[in-house]
Amino acid sequence: MLAFQPKETVTTKVQVSLAEIALVFLKLGMTAFGGPAAHIAMMEDEFVRKRQWITQTEFLDRLAAASLIPGPSSTEVAIFIGQSKRGWAGLVVGGCCFIIPSAVLVTLIAALYARFGALPKFAGILYGIKPAVIAIILQALGSLSRTAIKTKSLAVIGVIAIILNALGISPLLVLAVSGIAAYGAVWLRKRGVVALLAIPRIRRLSTFLLGTSAVAVTAPISLVRLFLSFLKIGAVVFGSGYVLLAFLRAEFIDHLRWLTERQLIDAVAVGQFTPGPVFTTATFIGYLVAGIPGAVLATMGIFLPGFVLVASSGPLIPRLRQSALASATLDGVVVGSLALIGVVAWQLGRTSVIDWITLGILVVSGVVLIRFRINSAWIIATAGFIGWLTR
C-alpha cells in the first residue's frame, strides 16, 4: 500500500492573474489561524485540491525547500506558490498579501495595547478554534502523506523523524537526517547492496547566539538598528514561535533592553492568536518601540530574507528532481517535514482537546472536511463562534 502513489489529476498549466493571486492570499492572510502547520494545511486545500494551481508533488517540494531555509516556513510556501504562477511579480504579490492582513491587525492590537497596557480577551474564540485547527492539520497530513510516502523506506524515515523530534533534536537536524537517510537508501539500492538503514545518534551541534553581550544601559532607539535587528533574526532563525522567542529575548531584552519581559511574552501571544504569519510578532514589537514606522520596518526586516531566499532557491527545485539521488534526498526532506507537522499536531492536540466540547469540534470538523470538502476558513469561523458562545 505504501508503494502506491496516486495519480495526480491536477495541472500546473492553470493561468492565474496577479489580481487572483492577491485576492486568494489576502483571504488566507485574514483566515489562516493556528500557526504554520495549519497554514500549510489550508494552502494545500486551497491550491492543490480546490484551485488545482499546483500538483501535490510540487507543493511538497516547495514545503521541503521552505523547511530548509531560515524564516517563516508557511509564508515562504506562499511566496513559492506565487513565484510558481507568475514569477517575480507573483512572488511579491503572494507573499505580501499573505503578510499584510496580519500585520495590519497586529498593528491595531499594538496600538490598543500601548494605550491600555493589556491584551483583549480572546480566550473563548481560541478555545473553539484550536481543535478545528487540529482537524485541518490532520486532514492535510493524510492527503499529503499519500503522495509523499512512496516506499517503505520513506515510511521508516518518517517514523525515525518523529522519534528524533520527540528526543529533542532540532528540526533542522531532523530534516538533514531525513534527507541523508533517503539519499543513502537509494544509493545502496542502485548498487544492489542489501543493508539495514542505520540512523546515527544526532546531537545538537550548534546554538545561535544573537546579542549575547548585554549592555549596561538601554541602547538608544534607532529605526535603522530596529530594521537591522529584525533583518538579522529573519536571516538565521529556524523553527517555531518558541525558537523566535529566544532570539527576540536575546536581542531586545538582554542586548538592547528596549522591551520588558511581559511585553515580549504579550508580543509572542499576539503573533500566536492572530491569523497569518506568527512572525508578525515583529510588527507588535516594532510598534511598541517606534510606533507605526517601527511596525513597518520591523515587518519588512523579518520577512525580507524569506523573499530573497525563495527567489534564489526556487529555480533549483526542478533541477533537483532531474537527478535520482537529489530527488531522493528531497523526498526524505518532504517526509521529515510532514513528520514534524504531525508532531506539532500532537502537541497542539494535547493542550487543545480538553473536554467534550473541544472533542466534538475536532470530530465534526474532521468529518465535514473529509465528507463535504468545505473550505477550512468556514470551519475556523464556525468553531471560533462556538467557542465564544460556550466560554
Q: What is the mean pLDDT of residues 325-350?
A: 77
Assigned domain for 48 exists: yes
Any domain includes 64: yes
The three grid cell numbers given for residue 262, joined into one nine-digit string: 511581559
Q: Which domain holds residue 358?
A: 18-204+308-390
Span 42-58, pLDDT tens digits: 898 899 988 889 998 88
DSSP secondary structure string for all residues of 300-357? HHHHHHHHHHHHHHTTHHHHHHTSHHHHHHHHHHHHHHHHHHHHHHHHHHHHH--SHH
Residue 325 reports pLDDT greater than 50: yes
Q: Which of 88, 61, 100 is nearest to 77 (CA)?
A: 61
236 within some domain: no
What are the CA-CA distances from residue 172 to residues 176, 238, 245, 305, 311 (Å)? 6, 7, 17, 18, 21
- Mention every residue, 6+ apart, whose C-beta is less than 8 A from residue 96: none
Q: What is the largest CA-CA distance in the chain?
A: 69
pLDDT for the residue 167: 83
For residue 285, the surrounding DSSP H or E stretch is helix 281-313
> Grid coordinates standing for 332?
526524505
pTM assigned to the model: 0.64
| Number of domains the chain is built from | 1
Q: For residue 75, give the amino acid letter.
A: T
Domain assignment of residue 346, yes or no: yes
CB atoms within 10 A of CB 121: 9
> At 299, is the pLDDT very low, low, confident or very high (cuts 50, 70, 90)?
very high
Whether the per-residue pLDDT at 63 is higher than 60: the answer is yes
pLDDT digits (tens, 9 = 90+) for 254-285: 788 898 877 887 777 677 678 888 889 899 99
Is residue 245 a part of any domain in this protein? no
Report if residue 154 sits inside a domain.
yes
261 belongs to a structural domain: no
